[in-house]
Structure 1
């Protein structure tokens, strides 16, 4: 569609440069969904991604023209900045908030940057849409008032789970809100060859473990509201040891945040440490992008992890998963899909999590069937977002010809 008229689409808090492949998964998947709606009306999508610059570049995973602008306080404060110029060029802006950053559970500086960017989006030529994301929690009245204020600037707010939708209703936003699921369920991947032929009961099986460096190295991270009831390093050590001792299992260490310059965030460096202690494990090379990571996870038989989009990569590719959730975004999403294997690290102890993991390992064929059913429900829910996108894009295209 190279001869078609362009439609300039802002993707706020999206990035194909982020070391966090979860942000990348959201960005690639949402761009693909929006592009499909854009091509239906005979227009050519031109994406303007705006987020935090990282050291990666997997923009090739978006098969459409795309550009990137960094978001920072200086750029927000300067109406003449390239960020503001980009926003003024956009015919519609989709803000995904990095998936879970529209909350004050993280550092205050991050929250107010999220708020400020939504205000700046009013400079665009079209409406602001909050794409599917976790809404809240908002622990202070100041945060709640700020959140309500910017949501009133949006045309539509999409919640990716029932808990978030309930928050929207409690904040008086139900009239402009809709319920769907996480867009990363639409992230493309390459299915694994021979996976369906494996004997999940007798083995051999491939078991993946994603360890969050952010949670493992809590002494290096400050300024958030994450409160765990487990001893996370001890839990990870127990899980690694349990998988390593399982006769039918091959352990795969699967990093999903590749941030070499930020020690408390770098899953890969931590995976290397664990690999040094368990050399029989498999440590894949650094992934080049979120679709490659999902394709790798698709080849596993059981997966456990604390990076939510690594667990979504599992369940959306037919892999049984035990999410190790550190916030309500995990329970909200997986419970919405009728999948009951989430381990809640904010209220369970190490023994309860290990019991849950052992139960999954013991009944793997049934757990995989439940994962497949949950993915089917997610795909059904994504249908409502696709339908809404068709209408939003058709309106934007009619306004800007």
Structure 2
């Protein structure tokens, strides 16, 4: 039996993180057959994680990344940060020791999370440390289904390239990442893959009363996070979102269903979408999906929309992988790469800087009748699903397992 540690994901309160973990485990079970998992997220909070009793899955708390004040590692961190070397991550390497003891013998580390190896959420020091810690112990590290970079030129880019060249394999979820990695000298250990969530199996949710009507609806996911990238203040972003819903309902003439996908305190889609719904009132035909639905249940709902507009990456992946015409609201480069993979262009992407409620409503309406978009989804999504499965088989091969052998 192989023992795989899935490290670096975030809490299931982000349904995208749930989708990544659940689909990754399913892919690796298919490829390895006889396998058990230890899951080590970097954040927790969803009670469903604690209650998860899936056979062969063990959960550990996040590593403790707090460096004791005035310790040797604290001094190292401060010195490297002051000098701008990009190497302050070395002070975090030892923070994995307790986690390693709890994991025990392990055959591979699979670094999951989608876009952890980027500057989207700050310098990824914890992940450079992860790579170094396990590599020093001779355990293969796989960067799984990831968008990587871009990194600032200079020390940070040099550190990134050095760390990424040292992992066993990088499974890039779009060709843009492959091209970027090649530009910084990382190519020999790179495979083109796809986001594992493209393979997520939907689960019907009978409690959603809208289920029979969703086929004529427009699904809409707006998030507090996206608003930060528009340059608008919180109140301005709320008002812009209200106008978006009003205009979407007016232009499409359809019911608008608001879809929460992240329920983290302080950046909850659910709380934000209910504020929008209260402001909109009865001006348009409007509904809000419940926030407690799982990633699989949300995908089942999203799959029934006639068109979907989403700000959360994995909400759009749920739609695209269900062959639903999708307009993507983008705050980072990852959205552009996924759209190029499927449509061959980024005409169905609206950046945060360009956000305009009227134009967005027109884009959604245009997609309702865009047969080329539907054809692109039908032709290009199945190969992405296959790429994800082939990546799991490649990982199994590195571990000495022929797919289907269960050895």
TM-score surpassing 0.5?
A: yes
Instruction: Please give the alpha-carbon distance, in whole angstroms, between the structure 1 residues aligned to 2:215 and 2:147.
Output: 37
Instruction: Please give the alpha-carbon distance, in whole angstroms, between the structure 2 residues aligned to 1:229 and 1:178.
Output: 38
Q: Does 1:213 align with 2:224?
A: yes
Task: Please name the residue that 1:356 is paired with.
Answer: 363
Contact 1:324 1:343 (8 Å CA) reproduced = yes
Q: Does 1:380 align with 2:393?
A: no
Contact 1:204 1:250 (8 Å CA) reproduced = no
Instruction: Please give the alpha-carbon distance, in whole angstroms, between the structure 2 residues aligned to 1:247 and 1:204.
Output: 14
Task: Please name the residue that 2:98 is paired with.
Answer: 82
Contact 1:191 1:299 (8 Å CA) reproduced = no
Instruction: Please give the alpha-carbon distance, in whole angstroms, between the structure 2 residues aligned to 1:395 and 1:374.
Output: 29
Tell me by how many angstroms 1:151 deviates: 1.1
Q: Does 1:50 align with 2:66?
A: no
Instruction: Please give the alpha-carbon distance, in whole angstroms, between the structure 2 residues aligned to 1:26 and 1:72.
Output: 23
Contact 1:180 1:385 (8 Å CA) reproduced = yes
Task: Please name the residue that 2:193 is paired with.
Answer: 180
Tell me by how many angstroms 1:278 deviates: 2.8
Task: Please name the residue that 1:282 is paired with.
Answer: 287
Cα distance change on mapping 1:183 and 1:123 into 2, 3 Å = same
Cα distance change on mapping 1:62 and 1:305 into 2, 3 Å = farther
Cα distance change on mapping 1:149 and 1:175 into 2, 3 Å = same
* Residue number among 157, 178, 187 corresponding to 1:165 in the alignment: 178
Instruction: Please give the alpha-carbon distance, in whole angstroms, between the structure 1 residues aligned to 2:252 and 2:169.
Output: 51
Contact 1:38 1:390 (8 Å CA) reproduced = yes
Contact 1:25 1:187 (8 Å CA) reproduced = yes
The Cα offsets for residues 69-123 of structure 1, whole Å up to 9 and x where unpaired, read as 3034148565685312145522111112x21121123233xx2122222222336
The Cα offsets for residues 193-244 of structure 1, whole Å up to 9 and x where unpaired, read as 9xxxx9x9xx97111110111122x3xxxxxxx5769986565333311222
The Cα offsets for residues 302-347 of structure 1, whole Å up to 9 and x where unpaired, read as 1101100000001111222111111110011120223545323156
Tell me the SS of whatever aligns to 2:149.
Answer: coil
Task: Please name the residue that 2:152 is paired with.
Answer: 139
Q: Does 1:105 align with 2:99?
A: no
Tell me by how many angstroms 1:248 deviates: 4.1
Unmatched runs of 5 consecutive residues or more in structure 2: 68-91
Instruction: Please give the alpha-carbon distance, in whole angstroms, between the structure 2 residues aligned to 1:389 and 1:245.
Output: 49
TM-score normalised by structure 1 residue count: 0.81
Instruction: Please give the alpha-carbon distance, in whole angstroms, between the structure 2 residues aligned to 1:84 and 1:65.
Output: 16
Instruction: Please give the alpha-carbon distance, in whole angstroms, between the structure 2 residues aligned to 1:139 and 1:227.
Output: 22
Contact 1:58 1:289 (8 Å CA) reproduced = no
Instruction: Please give the alpha-carbon distance, in whole angstroms, between the structure 2 residues aligned to 1:94 and 1:239.
Output: 39
Instruction: Please give the alpha-carbon distance, in whole angstroms, between the structure 2 residues aligned to 1:136 and 1:61.
Output: 35
The Cα offsets for residues 255-278 of structure 1, whole Å up to 9 and x where unpaired, read as 11001x3x2x11110011011123
TM-score normalised by structure 2 residue count: 0.80
Tell me the SS of whatever aligns to 1:333.
Answer: helix
RMSD between aligned alpha carbons?
3.2
Instruction: Please give the alpha-carbon distance, in whole angstroms, between the structure 2 residues aligned to 1:305 and 1:86.
Output: 38
Contact 1:331 1:342 (8 Å CA) reproduced = no
Unmatched runs of 5 consecutive residues or more in structure 1: 1-5, 219-225
Q: Does 1:22 align with 2:12?
A: no
Tell me by how many angstroms 1:373 deviates: 2.8
Tell me by how many angstroms 1:53 deviates: 2.8
Instruction: Please give the alpha-carbon distance, in whole angstroms, between the structure 1 residues aligned to 2:99 and 2:295.
Output: 25
Contact 1:22 1:310 (8 Å CA) reproduced = yes
Tell me by how many angstroms 1:12 deviates: 1.5
Tell me the SS of whatever aligns to 1:394.
Answer: coil
Tell me the SS of whatever aligns to 2:343.
Answer: coil
Task: Please name the residue that 2:263 is paired with.
Answer: 258
Contact 1:184 1:313 (8 Å CA) reproduced = yes
